[in-house]
Structure formats: structure tokens, C-alpha cells
Amino acid sequence: MTWWGWDSARLSRRFLLRSSAAAGLTGLALLPGAARSAAPPPSGTGFIGQVVDLATLAPVAGALIRSDPLGLTTRSDAAGAYVLPAPPGSYTLHVSHDGYIETTLRAQVVASSGYTSVDLELLPSAPTPSQQEILYQRTVRQIQSPLVNLSAIPTPRLRIASVSLPKLIKVTHIPPNDTTQWVPLEDYVKGVVPNEVPASWPPAALQAQAVAARSYGVAHFLAKGCVCATTACQVYDPTRRYATTDAAVDATAGQVLTVDGSVIFAFFFSRCNGVSTRNSEDAIIYTGTNAQGQYICGRAGWKKLSYCRARCCSWNTASSLSTCGYYGHGVGLCQWGTYGQAQAGRSYTTILASYYTGVSLTGPGGTIALAEVAPQAAATGGSYKIYLPYVANGNASPSCS
């Protein structure tokens, strides 16, 4: 649930699938255009379900379903239904089809008797602009990086030694059992990016989001000793992967945004007003809704951040979800602006430089200063100290204890 509760009202297909699972349903029965094969599963054990196009919710015939280990395979029928016999155990399922992005589901368990119901979703590799909007609604589980309480952070600066990063980070509140694990850093980022932007977005947009998510996760870990898997930090899902988001993480492996050697909290949000992002001290918080159902904008009370200055943000259409035209706090990287820049052929480094002020890209190859390639949308003047984020009402992410 996002911090003003928008997710609680969003009945996405994935929400229906998950909520109906407890009742023994598939979720697809609740949705239009999802007719299923009436044939009962064969005797034995394995997986059974349906493959659908997540943009249209139409069944996908001829999709290849493959399991690791054992390499068992099957294909979906004309109704998108599939049956994959398999002995009891834990599997990784891969589903693919021409014109779609390969989806991977890890830690899928076949019990000692019967078939496990697992419905599979495919994202089109070349969706229309309207389908991209739909996919954003149905896949993204967090539309902004949350505020961080300064009083919960014991040191005033976050620094890294040379260019090395932690190989493992401590992740808390991991679904489905609310566990805590030490997770390889790049595996963590692969579990975050698909929850922040659709896997169907252009590679440069996914790469920019990967660097922002890695930077935010590392900064949070260095500051507090952990990062949570919920919207209080960044949403991390250990099971669902996409070929495109994995590739974006691999292409930017080990890269973080820094200022004077300090890893930054690389804030991001969903939509700007089509003109500019906002200075950190002008970050938005929503205080209610008006008669038209729009969120009413107020000031969040953040500190001034050197790397979060108002920047030109003319790459996305203004949102009507709020009275001020923003969706999210408005600070840092604008996700739909990133999408627009990537569609126009801009690289991920150019995109990052357009949203963060005075930052460098630090990684295995060293440190590269990212030049400002877009004019600032508001006069900033002078120099600024680097502050960690702070919100007046003192909201803090979960502790590491």
C-alpha cells in the first residue's frame, strides 16, 4: 500500500490472482476474456494454469512453459491453459512466446499430491502507448521512493570505500512469510526494478531505474543496516523476474550515483506536471482528495538536498491525479519522463544526469561525472550542503532488529 493509500483501491489482475488464491480460485475466473479449459488435470502431480497477455488479459496460445530443474516443457492450448506434470519439489518456471517478454517465476512448489495452480502472465515486447499505461497500472507496486527519517540514521554522510559496494545486503519483511535474508546486491535489484517500472519499457528507462534503485537500496542499507522489501523502502519480490529487467540490471551492474564519494538516496516518483521536477524542500505530500477525486497537494517538509534540484521535466504528459499535476512526491527521477526520454533515444546516463544535480556514476570502471544535459527549471544559485532526507512528521522505515 502506498503512503496515501492509492494501491488499496487498485484491483489489478495480480491483486485478484493473489487474493483469490486463498479461496482456491484462479483469479482469472473473475476477469473478462479469460475462458479456461474445462478438462480436469490428469492424475499425478505438477503445475496447471493459464497464460494470459497482461495488457489485454486475452489467453496466449502456444506459449512455452519450461521448468528448472529437470527441463520439463509444455505449451498452452488455444484457451491459454497448460498442464505440466512434474514430481514434487521446488521449481523455477519460465514462460515465453514470440512477441512477448520472457517471464520467470522462482520458488514454485509442487506438493506431494495433486496439481499446483500457477497462472502465468506475459507482457508484450512492443505494446502500444495505451497498453504501456495499462501495464504500469497492473505491474508497478510502488510509485515513489519513500521519505527517510534523519533521526534514524546515525551518521551524517553515507560513504563508500573506493568503488566497492556490499556484495550482500540485509533485506527484511520479504514476502510471503515476512522473512529476513542476506541477498546478493544484484539479485536484490533484479527483484526491485519490475515492481517500480513495467518490464515492457525501453532498455534505457529500465537501466536508469536500475541505477536509481541500486543507489537507493545501498544508501538505505549503509544508513540503517538493512532495507525492507515493502513500500516503506523499495518493493522487493524474490520470485518474479523478466528478461528485460534482468538485462538492465546486468548492463549497469555495480553502478551507483554518488556525490563526493557518498552514495545518494536516488529518489524517484511516477509523474511530473510536464514542466519540472521539484526541489527537495518543495516535495509533495497528499492531504486528502477534492470533489473531483484528485489528491490535494501539500508540502512534505523535506530538507534541502544538493542533488535534488528542480530540473526540466517536459517528457511526460501532466497527470490529472492531483491538484498540482504530480503523481508522487516530485523529487528526483520522474519515471514517465524517463520513459519519454528513452523513447526519444536518450541513454540511461543522459537520463540520470537530467534529473540529479552534480552527481557522478560510480562503478566497477571507476567514477564518471554526469554532466548536466538539461537546463534547470528553477533558479537554485549558491552551493548546498548534502543532507540526508528528512520528513517533518517523522515517518521511519522498519527497523533492522
- pLDDT higher for 251 or 362? 251
Which pLDDT score, from 0 to 100, does residue 369 have? 66
Q: Considering the entire predicted model, what is its pTM? A: 0.83
CB 221 within 8 A of CB 234: no
pLDDT tens digits for range 342-366: 999 999 999 999 999 988 888 886 7
Would you state the cell numbers that stand for residue 167, as one nine-digit string?
A: 556484495
Which pLDDT score, from 0 to 100, does residue 385 have? 36
Would you state the cell numbers that stand for residue 300, as one nine-digit string?
A: 512534505
> 78-87, 139-148, 265-274 — which is least confidently predicted?
139-148
Which of 68-77, 141-150, 316-325 is the most confident on average? 68-77
Residue 42 pLDDT > 90, yes or no? no
CB 377 within 8 A of CB 331: no
Which pLDDT score, from 0 to 100, does residue 149 have? 58
State how far the Cα of 188 lies from the Cα of 245, in Å rounded to an integer: 12
Provide the edge-to-edge strand list for the sheet that holds 366-369: 262-263, 256-259, 360-363, 366-369
pLDDT tens digits for range 139-180: 999 888 886 655 555 554 455 544 467 889 999 999 888 899
Residue 399 pLDDT level (bands cut at 50, 70, 90)? low
Which pLDDT score, from 0 to 100, does residue 293 have? 85
Residue 388 pLDDT > 90, yes or no? no
Report helix, strand or coil for 342: helix
Core vs surface per residue 269-278: b (16+ CB within 10 A) or e? bbbbbbebbb
Per-residue pLDDT, averaged over 48-72, amounts to 96
Q: Which residue has the cell 497528499?
A: 286
- pLDDT, the chain, mean: 80
For the chain, which domains are there?
Answer: 6-124 (2.60.40.1120), 140-369 (no CATH)
State how far the Cα of 194 lies from the Cα of 200, in Å rounded to an integer: 10
pLDDT tens digits for range 213-228: 999 998 888 888 889 9
CB 148 within 8 A of CB 389: yes
> How is residue 33 annotated by DSSP?
T
- pLDDT higher for 30 or 35? 35
Residue 37 pLDDT > 80, yes or no? no
Residue 339 pLDDT > 90, yes or no? yes
CB 304 within 8 A of CB 281: yes
Please, which residues have CB within 8 angstroms of residue 234's CB and are 6 or more apart in sequence? Answer: 142, 145, 192, 195, 196, 213, 216, 217, 220, 227
Would you state the cell numbers that stand for residue 3, as one nine-digit string?
A: 503512503
